[in-house]
Amino acid sequence: MNKQERNEAQWAKWTDQVLTQLPAHSAPATLAPRIRAAVARLQVLPWHRRPWLQWPTTFKCLSLAVVGATSTAVSYWVLPHAPVVPSASAVVPGYEPAVTIVGAFSTLSHGLFQALAHSGTGTMAVVLGTIGVFWCMSLGLGTACWRLSIREN
Amino acid sequence: MNDPASFDSFVLNYQDMVYSTAIRLLGHEAEAEDVAQEAFLRAWKHWAELKDGQSAGGWLKTVTRNLCLNHLQRYRNRWTLFTDLRRSDDDDGAEPDVAAPDEWEDATLTADQRSILEGAIAALPRDQRVALVLFHFEGLDYVAIAEQLKISLGKVKTDIFRARAALRKKLQPLRETVGV
């Protein structure tokens, strides 16, 4: 150990000795009442009024299962079975926008289904690769915008 | 079911420790209070497991430290920019060549000297202060600090070295008074 390293080690020890003598800061008088109020708010709120991350684990798992099952059922119903264009007589008055959205989704998914069914492995790889590249570009652009906004703030 | 009375006494027992950790790492009173509140709310959510254990204090300290580091990480771009500017203003790049202390066994500080020391720590650039606090107050070693802050080991050593150098520059009168 040379002189400089020995000096630095001694200063480290000195710093440690003086810093560990410092007493804890006193918490502000407002802290405990703030915590009590926040805990009281948590106790009053039923689980379904809290953010999803604070739900009980059982309900979180159940909600994920319900969302997954619903998405699967809707996809199964829309993809191979639904008509590509809903017939005019089948539309209930007042529900035209919803029917239009379902029709568009159905047409798109039907086309996608047909394309998937008749595409070769190479085409699929190109399509998936392109989607991946665009996804990465979007992610990169979003991250750049977010960092710029943080820096500007 | 959580017991509010025992949790309240837990808060009163540990609030100074939590707030001290937060204020030393963040250097901002309002942010430290927010982080302290969040740490205790997390403790409340885990109160069923914590209330009977012996390690509640350690758990709370770790959660507070992680919350502070997450908070700092979130604003890292901003504070890196500012600390770089401050460093270029404050430092001339050369480290002061100060002799090592001859004696340090009897370095007992008075209340005024403690206050000067707290002020000197608070005045450090944020990255230096965080590294110094993690090393000397939180007891982490260089490798653990580098992992926590997601920076290189070299930067941790440099930050702590610079922080000590800045402290000893400001505390030279204190060193002479204390006799170290």
State the nearest Cα–Cα gap between B62 and chain A, in angstroms.
16
Interface check A13 vs B, CB under 8 A: yes
pLDDT for B150 beyond 50: yes
Domain co-membership, A124 together with A79: no
Tell me which residue range forms the domain holding B57: 4-74
Cβ-Cβ contacts under 8 Å, A13 against chain B: 104
In a domain, residue B37? The reply is: yes
B164 by Cβ neighbours in 10 Å (0-12 / 13-18 / 19+) ranks as buried
pLDDT at B89: 43
Domain co-membership, B115 together with B65: no
Tell me which residue range forms the domain holding A136: 120-153
Higher pLDDT, A35 or B54: A35
Domain co-membership, B113 together with B162: yes
Q: How confident is the model over B27-34, as a mean pLDDT?
A: 91
How far is C-alpha B151 from the chain's CA centre?
17
Size of interface A-B (CB pairs under 8 A): 112
Q: From the list A10, A23, A27, which residue is nearest B15 (CB)?
A: A27
- Dist CA A23 CA A26 (whole Å): 9
Q: Judge: B108–A21 Cβ closer than 8 Å, yes or no.
A: yes
pLDDT at B175: 58
Domain co-membership, A93 together with A136: no
Domain co-membership, A136 together with A92: no
pLDDT for A8 beyond 70: yes
In a domain, residue A45? The reply is: no
When divided into structural domains, chain B yields a total of 2
In a domain, residue B53? The reply is: yes
CA atoms within 13 A on the CB side of A99: 13
pLDDT at B177: 57
Q: Report the range out of A82-91, B46-55, B91-100 with the highest average pLDDT.
A: B46-55
Q: How confident is the model over A87-107, as a mean pLDDT?
A: 73
In a domain, residue B95? The reply is: no
Domain co-membership, B105 together with B140: yes
CATH number for the domain harbouring residue B106: 1.10.10.10
Domain co-membership, A113 together with A55: yes
Structure tokens at B86: 């401050």
Domain co-membership, A107 together with A127: no
Q: How confident is the model over A111-130, as a mean pLDDT?
A: 81
- Dist CA B18 CA B35 (whole Å): 9
Domain co-membership, A109 together with A59: yes
Q: Judge: B24–A11 Cβ closer than 8 Å, yes or no.
A: no
Beta carbons within 10 angstroms of residue B77's beta carbon: 15
pLDDT digit string, tens, across residues A10-42? 878 888 888 888 888 899 999 999 999 998 888
Interface check A42 vs B, CB under 8 A: yes
When divided into structural domains, chain A yields a total of 2
pLDDT at A150: 63
- pLDDT above 90 covers a percentage of chain A that reads 20
Q: Judge: B11–A7 Cβ closer than 8 Å, yes or no.
A: no
